Amino acid sequence: MGKRKYNKGEDEKPAAVLEEVPQANAQQMITKKIKSGGGVVKIQECESGLQFVEVKRGSGPCPELGQNVFIKYKGMLPNGREFDSGKLSFHSGRGEVIAGLDEGVSKMRAGGIRKLMIPSNLGYGSSGAPGKIPPNSALLFDVLVQRIGSRKQVAEQKEDDEWRAR
């Protein structure tokens, strides 16, 4: 019989078991985290398996394919550990970000806020992200869409809105 493989710092649990836990318990852990804020939570599910909670509905149109989307985000593992956060811009539907984030933002509007629950197949999959995200891990993202369109388009729209408000 071969040697058991253990993660660094773990003496009791084989690595294979540790890798399975995030995916197996992700839904339960994420739902608990979202509901801990109180109130009624409506979790919506897409055909792909992506789930989300609409925290705040934005205004204006959803991004079109290839249109610039500017977001603020925080990415967490099912256990609540943050692995990344910041501001990001990408072209909608072009595969510049993980599939779950792209899909989750595709139906949002400027000013909208969502909590995305991304299954591993729409995230980093069996590869994970070494040192940050274990293989087969589900992900939780808090996302705010700051604006949609190029900087120039956003500035022109703001000027138009200000003009109409006079």
For residue 119, being part of any structural domain is answered with: yes
Considering the domain boundaries, does residue 159 fall inside one? yes
Q: What is the CATH number of the domain that holds 60?
A: 3.10.50.40
The string of pLDDT tens digits covering residues 13-44 is 333 333 433 444 556 665 665 565 555 668 88
User: Is 55 a domain residue?
Assistant: yes
Mean of pLDDT over the chain: 80
The total number of structural domains in the chain stands at 1
Rounded to two decimals, the pTM is 0.72
Has residue 18 been placed in a domain?
A: no
More confident residue, 1 or 43: 43
The verdict on residue 136 lying in a domain is yes
Kindly tell me if the per-residue pLDDT of 46 is higher than 90: yes
Distance CA 117, CA 101 (A): 9
27, part of any domain:
no
Is 10 inside any structural domain?
no
The β-bridge relationship of strands 113-118 and 51-56 is antiparallel
Q: What integer is the mean pLDDT of 67-89?
A: 95
Domain extent for 64: 41-164
